[in-house]
Amino acid sequence: MRLIAIDLDGTLLNTESKISAENRAAIKKALISDCIVTICTGRATFDVKALLNDLDIPIIAANGGTVHDFNYKLLSRTLMDRETGKKAAQYLTDHHIYFEVYTDDALLSPFDGRQKLEAELDIAVSANPNEDRDTLWQGALTQFKQFGIKPVPDIRDVFNGSENIYKLLCFSFDLEKLKKAKEDLSAYSKLGLTSSGKHIIEILPDESGKGHALRKLAKHYGIEKKDIYAIGDSPNDLSMFEEAGHRIAMGNAIDELKHMSTFITKSNDENGVAYFINKLLENEYH
């Protein structure tokens, strides 16, 4: 049996954040060909379910925060230390960095987050006239279009309650501010940092990550590393690649993933996932 782990943004999803008919058909074909297919993403589980629609497959969500089997059965969860998360949230608030908190039922965001990001974008474009404003804003819109996003008056309040917290996602158009935040937050014990894009920092429990979760799912099914196929494009896919015997980089992937890869497929707008899966099933991948 083979396990195919697929990232979402920049991989299975095209630039319109949709799963193409070709990619969906290829996954269904793999499922009837002695393969287990799992989504391995930074998105929340409920968001993934909405995107998958009729596809019932295992889901690794929140960068490994939750692992669900078929029929949405929870296999494991990795929670953020509440006090450490509270300190990180305070730091981000003090430094005026937009962030979201991932819980079981919602993506909590500041009620004025969109307006603040628009103001930050205006400053970034003024300082860098060669940047295309619409292209930059599309990156932020991806966050606001997620299923389950819930604006709240003070996002820090969640750390005083009992909700499960899986990760924090930060987004900023100010790359220097983001770089400084990454340096400062990396010193926090019990936290790990990764990224799914140029303007994003993802803050996780230090024992979380796509790689840890993929290893758990593979062990659950008794699948060896040599039979794991990971498909991705971004820095947060690196740990997933380390756990896979076969590492498939998207045509639009970062160079680091391409250098680690055993195969480079087409881009996410060219149905790169379907292109690889079809090659695998037709014994054209070696």
> 252: alpha, beta or left, given left = phi > 0 and alpha = psi -120 to 50?
alpha
Q: Which of 7, 69, 174, 227 is catalytic?
A: 7
C-alpha distance from residue 277 to each of 6, 130, 212, 233, 244 (Å): 11, 38, 24, 16, 15
Contacts of 270 (CB under 8 A, 6+ apart): 251
Does the annotation count 227 as an active-site position?
no
Q: Which of 217, 91, 106 is nearest to 164 (CA)?
A: 106
Question: Alpha-carbon distance 132 to 138, whole Å?
Answer: 10
Q: Which residue has the tokens 């968001």?
A: 47
Give the largest CA-CA distance in the chain.
54
Residue 242 main-chain phi, psi, to 5 deg: -65, -25
Instruction: Kindly list the catalytic residues.
Output: 7
